[in-house]
A = this chain, B = another copy of it.
Amino acid sequence: MKSSHILLLLSLASTGAAAFELGAPKNNNTDNLVWTGHLSPDTDSVTSALIAAHIYGGTAVVPEGINPESQFVLDYCQIAAPKPLNDFSQKAVGLVDFNQKTQLHPTIDESSIVAIVDHHAIGGAPVNMTQVTPIDIRAWGSAATILADRAESLDIDLPAHLACTTLAGILSDTVVFQSSTTTEYDRYYAKELAKEAGIVDLKAFGQKMLEAKSDLSHISAAEILTMDYKNFSYGGKKVGIGVAETLTAQQLLDRRNEFVAAMISYKETQKLDHLFFAVIDTKNKRANLLWIDDIDAAIAAKAFTGQPKQGWLVLDGVTSRKRQIGPAIQGAIEGKK
């Protein structure tokens, strides 16, 4: 009875010139529509763009190159990579997995943003739009989980290869359910998607993903610094935080001098007020934090309590930039802590 109301409503829903509706895909205008995640796209961002395009129409794209973990996932799931897009200027744009201006491709005109599906706080500097754009933010472990829930409630089936990538988005952002950001929704949809994808052992799949991103021995420190990197605006300051999640942390910890050099150069060329880099040891569930000058040392001292070891600040139990590292740095800078 109730759900027949909603079906009726969907069939009645507004046409043509109307705003984008996350609850009524078939009424949306999808001309020139693309779905994109943030700069330095991670696996959640890439796979969320893919499922969003399946649900809502339009095309999944990436604003920058795909990282080794995402490439592994696309190969494993046998799905073509989203096309890189350098010029968003003639596009209607749906954003997945972020809401911050600092993470937006520079050619995206904010007036062309039609929808946002995300699982991050809007603190800092969210995109600034005059139009009313539908926003669905939930405190779930990944944007992929929210989109899996949208697909289910809209009764939209996912082909096996897309169930596979969406599962990968969940596993990647929750570090195979080990992150403190994991919710029961993530576990539930991961299980459902694994069934649809025909993946029997989802933890084994997650483990392969972790391994795919763990071996960074042949990649330069400068590349690793920005491989999973985000810019934030905290208290008006430009703050960069890079993380590298790895099962083999010592491999990176031993390269401290290389990272210091890469960070000095990056902080200067990007004109950052603050820059932090963390090696996330996903095996031992701790972060190893690095910064390069006294200004950032003072921020770190306000933000964290941990023990220094071999020139890295060791933060036991810290694995999430979104939930732990970012908010602590924001609190220290904005004096809310």
Which A residues are closer than 8 A to B by beta carbons? Answer: 2-3, 5-6, 8-9, 12-14, 18-23, 110-111, 119-124, 126-139, 149, 152-153, 155, 183-185, 188, 192, 322-323, 326-327, 330-331, 336
A-B contact pairs, 9 of them (CB 8 A): A21-B138, A22-B138, A110-B123, A119-B132, A122-B126, A122-B128, A132-B322, A132-B323, A134-B138
**In the assembled complex, which residues on chain B have CB atoms less than 8 Å from the CB atom of A330?**
130
Q: Are A130 and B6 within 8 A (Cβ)? A: no
Tell me the minimal C-beta distance from A245 to chain B in angstroms. 19
Q: Which residue of B lies closest to A235 (CB)?
A: B128
Asked if residues B111 and A133 are in contact (CB atoms below 8 Å), the reply is no
20 additional A-B residue pairs with CB within 8 Å, beyond A121-B133, A123-B128, A123-B129: A9-B188, A12-B184, A13-B183, A13-B185, A14-B183, A14-B185, A19-B139, A110-B123, A111-B336, A121-B131, A122-B129, A122-B133, A126-B126, A130-B327, A130-B336, A133-B137, A134-B138, A134-B139, A135-B136, A136-B136
Closest to A337 in B: B130
Q: Which B residues touch A119, using CB under 8 A?
A: 132
| Bound Cα distance A13, B139 (Å) | 12
Q: Point out the residues of chain B lying under 8 angstroms from A3, CB to CB.
A: 3
Report the bound CA distance from A28 to B149 in whole Å: 19
- CB contacts (< 8 Å) of A20 on chain B: these are 139
Q: Using Cβ atoms and an 8 Å threshold, which residues of chain B touch A8?
A: 188
Q: Nearest chain B CB to A117's CB is how many angstroms away? A: 11
Assuming the contacts A20-B139, A138-B22, A139-B19, asked whether A327 and B131 have C-beta atoms less than 8 A apart, the reply is yes
Given contacts A14-B183, A185-B13, contact A133 B139 (CB under 8 A): yes
Complex A-B, nearest 9 residue pairs according to Cβ-Cβ distance, in ascending order: A19-B139, A130-B327, A132-B139, A135-B137, A14-B184, A123-B129, A123-B128, A121-B132, A12-B184
Shortest A13–chain B CB gap in Å is: 5
Q: Are A121 and B130 in contact (CB under 8 A)?
A: yes
Q: Which residue on chain B has the smallest CB distance to residue A1?
A: B155
Q: Tell me which residues across on chain B come within 8 A of A322, comparing CB atoms.
A: 132
